[in-house]
Amino acid sequence: MRLLRAFGWFWWDLVIGDDWRIAAYVVLVLGAGAGLAAAGAPDPVIALGAVVALMTCFAGLLVRDVRR
């Protein structure tokens, strides 16, 4: 059981790192993009929308952390 837990932590630490919110917002933004793609939205809307959302979330998270 300890070995399994250590194995799980290893992968969590490798992929998610020390700030799980980054992975969470990447999944949320790309999930929204997937929804747009499935709904048949035009390519430029999906691409530019995803870039703007990813950058806004990154900047917002960082500024919020520092000002807190």
Partner 1 sequence: MSATTLALVGSVFVASFVEFVEAFTIVLAMGTTRGWRSALSGALAAAVALAGFTLVLGYAIRTWLPEALLQLVVGVLLLVFGLQWLRKAVLRSSGRKALSDEDARYARETGAAARADRTTYAGIDLFGFLVSLKGVFLEGVEVVFIVLTFGLQAGRVALASVAAVAAGLLVAATGFALRRPLAAVPENTMKYAVGVMLTGFGTFWSVQGLGWFRAGHESVGWPLGEWALPLVVLAWLALTRALVALLATRPSEVVR
Distance of CA 53 to the CA centre of its chain: 10
Distance in Å, CB of 34 to partner 1, minimum:
4
Is residue 17 classed as helix, strand or coil in its secondary structure? coil
Closer Cβ to partner 1, 1 or 18, answer by number: 18
Distance in Å, CB of 2 to partner 1, minimum:
16
Q: How many whole angstroms separate alpha carbon 68 and alpha carbon 57?
A: 16
8 A C-beta contact, residue 16 and residue 23: yes
* Residues of this chain that bind partner 1 (CB under 8 A): 14-19, 22-23, 26-27, 30, 33-38, 40, 43-44, 46-48, 50-51, 54-55, 58-59, 61-63, 65-67
